Amino acid sequence: MRLLALFALLLSLAGPAFAVDPSERLADPALEGRARLISEELRCLVCQNQSIDASDAQLAKDLRVLVRERIAAGDSDDAVRDFLVARYGEFVLLRPRTHGVGLLLWVLPPSLLLLAAGGLFVAFRRRTVSSGAERLSPEEEAALTALAHEDDGPPNI
């Protein structure tokens, strides 16, 4: 029984290894290696948080075949990526590019974080500076003491 459970666990972990169908592979190992590297960087548009290399969705299979066709036709890695971005948009990349809208995605979150940290620093700094109570002058203390003694008389009924 434990052996069966262990086999099922190992089989479930090997799922991504079965995603690339042997019939999809290129004959040249160097070209196949390039195709695998590119496929790991491309998002499955069905699964969305999985690369096309690890996905077993039909669209991912079609994209893997398309990548291999473009590589076999002599396209460079960048040309293959550019072709897919032109066809499916920047969303097809698992890691957005660092120009155009992609640059905004890379720069905006840290900038907002720094801006918020600066705002909190300024707010706490103002609070600590203004919370220090100023001392009364001797004349003000005397006037306050005199006012307090005036009220010590008998209560009015």
Q: Which residues contact 39 (CB under 8 A, 6 or more apart)?
A: 20, 51, 52, 53, 63, 64, 67
Sign of CA dihedral 15, 21, 27, 31: negative
CA separation for the pair 112, 118 (Å, rounded): 10
Q: Is 26 helix (H, G, I), strand (E, B) or coil?
A: coil
pLDDT band per the 50, 70, 90 thresholds, residue 154: low
Residue 74 in contact with residue 65, Cβ under 8 Å? no
pLDDT band per the 50, 70, 90 thresholds, residue 18: very low
- Residue 112's pLDDT is 92
Q: Is the pLDDT of residue 17 over 70?
A: no
The per-residue pLDDT for range 130-140, each reduced to its tens digit, is 555 677 888 98
Q: Is the pLDDT of residue 145 over 60?
A: yes
CATH of domain 10-92: 1.10.8.640
Q: Which residues contact 144 (CB under 8 A, 6 or more apart)?
A: 136
The per-residue pLDDT for range 45-74, each reduced to its tens digit, is 888 788 888 888 898 899 999 999 998 888
Sign of CA dihedral 92, 50, 57, 24: positive
Q: Is the pLDDT of residue 15 over 50?
A: no
* Claim: this prediction has a pTM higher than 0.75: no
- Residue 56's pLDDT is 86
The per-residue pLDDT for range 83-131, each reduced to its tens digit, is 999 998 888 888 877 666 667 777 888 999 999 999 999 888 887 655 5
